[in-house]
């Protein structure tokens, strides 16, 4: 256990140093693909059904991520592979299983998982995300966990496990209650209605990174808002906000009446290719 704690502390410190060296604040979320680009690591998406991710330092540091995984999983995989890059590993091929799902203990993989969690969800950033919304982390609800996980670009269960085990800000009993609620159920609770589609909920506290979605995804903005650009189209107006759908690759902007705005980047669904080009508009 002491060995695990030491590895976790070292991985967390390395992740925070990596953020700072790339010019990112510790109290904001990051897009892990943008961060990798700043570090000089190329990220590519391939449609690989049997592999989560891969890191290779040969011919320049490169990360391969399966495009067939959910969006939050892809982000965590990329951050995990950056952990291998930080260790200066040679070649690592990962059938990635988070440590809470894996009964065996591999120090190298545990380090990469801890690095990924700290890189994507630093304690300062998670604390701020709850505080600015007036929420108590220790009494976190499924709706709040889902909204904050979307803000950080990770999965619902990933955030809950991270808050419980790594950050130790969520009591075990509360985490267990949250994990009994499926992400789909949490989405219905947050929206107030049920839809089979994936909906990213955004508010005026969203800052620090662009809103990243794929063609076909929906964005629900809590309040009045309008769009710039051709990648988003209004879907419907509701009494508590506006629903938009991502209809084509590209970069646009979401703007609220109170002066808030954020860039929206839409990539092709299940995009295959260099991460650098994932938002390029179709010719």
Domain end residue (candidates: 73, 98, 120): 120
Tell whether 87 and 174 lie within a shared domain. Answer: no
229: left (phi over 0), alpha (psi -120 to 50) or beta: left
Tell whether 181 and 162 lie within a shared domain. Answer: yes
C-alpha–C-alpha distance, residues 211 and 218, integer Å: 11
pLDDT in tens, the chain (283 residues): 568 889 999 999 999 999 999 999 999 999 999 999 999 999 999 998 888 888 988 888 999 999 999 999 999 999 999 999 988 765 555 564 544 455 567 888 899 999 999 999 999 999 999 999 999 999 999 999 999 999 999 999 999 999 999 999 999 999 999 999 999 999 999 988 888 888 999 999 999 899 999 999 999 998 888 999 999 998 876 667 889 999 999 999 999 988 899 999 999 999 999 999 999 987 6
Tell whether 110 and 54 lie within a shared domain. Answer: yes
C-alpha–C-alpha distance, residues 198 and 173, integer Å: 28
Confidence at residue 159, expressed as pLDDT on a 0 to 100 scale: 97
Q: What is the CA radius of gyration of the chain?
A: 18
* Total structural domains within the chain: 3
Domain end residue (candidates: 76, 101, 120): 120
Tell whether 108 and 97 lie within a shared domain. Answer: yes
C-alpha–C-alpha distance, residues 182 and 46, integer Å: 28
Domain hosting residue 184, numbered range: 122-191
Tell whether 7 and 60 lie within a shared domain. Answer: yes
Domain end residue (candidates: 89, 120, 151): 120
Confidence at residue 96, expressed as pLDDT on a 0 to 100 scale: 46
Tell whether 222 and 255 lie within a shared domain. Answer: yes
Confidence at residue 195, expressed as pLDDT on a 0 to 100 scale: 85
Tell whether 9 and 116 lie within a shared domain. Answer: yes
Tell whether 111 and 17 lie within a shared domain. Answer: yes
Task: Report the CATH number at residue 233.
Answer: 2.60.40.2020
CA distances from 98 to 26, 55, 195, 237, 269 (A): 23, 17, 28, 39, 25
């Amino acid at each position: 256990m002491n060995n695990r704690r030491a590895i976790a502390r070292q991985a967390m410190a390395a992740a925070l140093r990596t953020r700072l060296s790339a010019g990112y604040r510790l109290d904001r979320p990051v897009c892990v693909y943008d961060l990798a680009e700043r570090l000089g690591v190329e990220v590519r998406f391939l449609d690989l059904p049997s592999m989560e991710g891969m890191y290779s330092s040969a011919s320049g540091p490169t990360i391969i991520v399966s495009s067939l995984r959910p969006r939050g999983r892809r982000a965590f995989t990329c951050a995990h592979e950056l952990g291998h890059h930080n260790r200066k590993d040679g070649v690592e091929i990962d059938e990635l299983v988070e440590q809470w799902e894996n009964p065996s203990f591999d120090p190298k993989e545990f380090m990469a998982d801890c690095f990924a969690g700290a890189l994507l969800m630093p304690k300062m950033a998670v604390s701020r995300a709850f505080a600015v919304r007036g929420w108590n982390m220790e009494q976190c609800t499924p709706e709040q966990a889902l909204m904050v996980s979307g803000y950080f670009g990770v999965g619902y269960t990933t955030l809950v496990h991270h808050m419980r085990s790594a950050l130790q800000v969520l009591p075990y009993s509360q985490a267990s209650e949250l994990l009994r609620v499926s992400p789909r159920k949490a989405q219905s609770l947050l929206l107030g209605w049920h839809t089979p589609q994936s909906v990213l909920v955004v508010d005026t506290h969203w800052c620090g990174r662009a809103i990243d979605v794929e063609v076909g995804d929906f964005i629900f903005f809590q309040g009045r808002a309008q769009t710039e650009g051709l990648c988003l189209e209004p879907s419907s107006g509701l009494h508590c906000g506006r629903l938009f759908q991502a209809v084509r690759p590209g970069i646009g902007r979401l703007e609220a009446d109170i002066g808030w705005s954020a860039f929206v980047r839409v990539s092709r669904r299940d995009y295959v290719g260099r991460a650098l080009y994932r938002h390029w508009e179709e010719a």
